[in-house]
Structure 1
């Protein structure tokens, strides 16, 4: 897995353990609710378990925006994409650009369909995934079919 350059501001860095950067994202209760429907922050054990799982079941990247790590994105072997952007950097189309790159990666891997699990209350994520072409296929599942 190598670094993926999205544009002059944004690149994806292959996952490596970096608790200093990533733990604060998962200690933000709003982000925990958006991502996992959790009302409690992550601790280091849960953070490590999540990243160990994502990085051993697909491709997991940190999102670097203008030189700062601001979140993570993954494409699992089962064609599921997941993304987290810390609150301070949301609503700047960072997530959209990263998901579009994960769709390119999926195509490189021969995946015709990519799916995303989005909680029904997470309108922000729903709108972003729909903007890049995902369609709702079930209560909390969205799917992208490559053309």
Structure 2
């Protein structure tokens, strides 16, 4: 139970091609995403590829402190993970790890579904601790989905959406 008092859904449907599947402890396939230095720069502000240990610690943190899901897309009759998303009481994280799915509107669909999920679990707002200045794609995504800039951070901006 990552958000206290809330049972995490096993699957959150988005449409007939995209769904969110609850994190199940298996994430080795995600290491390749975190070897992509551009992705690491966008989400962490760092240019060091992840090690297995760092990947383990990241997913341990995400799954223990929020509702962590893999973003999956239907390909050849089966759902394949392409990224992850986590809703916390006081933060939010999303990453499309597979570059083939960047700039295809998937992030918008996922964020809209997670806004619905936040309402379902009784949150009154969604906070995003920081989106870096150079991550213009994420900043535009959140602003398009109704998030407002709260304040300037050291390397970017924090955002909030009232529900």
Give the TM-score range, shorter chain: over 0.9
* Residues 1:63 and 2:67 are matched in the alignment: no
Taking the TM superposition and a 5 Å limit, the aligned residue runs for 1:44-83 are 44-66=52-74, 67-78=79-90, 80-83=91-94
Equivalent residue pairs, number: 145
Q: Give structure 1 stretches of 5+ with no counterpart.
A: none
Query: 2-side partners of 1:130 and 1:120: how far apart?
Result: 14
Query: 2-side partners of 1:36 and 1:97: how far apart?
Result: 23
Match of 1:122 in 2: 135
TM-score (norm 1): 0.94
Q: Give structure 2 stretches of 5+ with no counterpart.
A: 1-7
Residues 41-79 of structure 1, C-alpha deviation per residue, up to 9 Å, x if partnerless? 11111111011011001100000012221000000132x
* Residues 1:136 and 2:149 are matched in the alignment: yes
> Radius of gyration: which is bigger?
2
TM-score (norm 2): 0.85
Match of 1:103 in 2: 115
Residues 104-142 of structure 1, C-alpha deviation per residue, up to 9 Å, x if partnerless? 111111111101221011101000111111111112101
Check the 8 A contact 2:89/2:123 in 1, yes or no: no
Query: 2-side partners of 1:94 and 1:88: how far apart?
Result: 11
SS at match of 1:92: coil
Query: 2-side partners of 1:20 and 1:129: how far apart?
Result: 28
Check the 8 A contact 1:81/1:102 in 2, yes or no: no
Residue of structure 2 aligned with 1:35, choices 21, 43, 49? 43
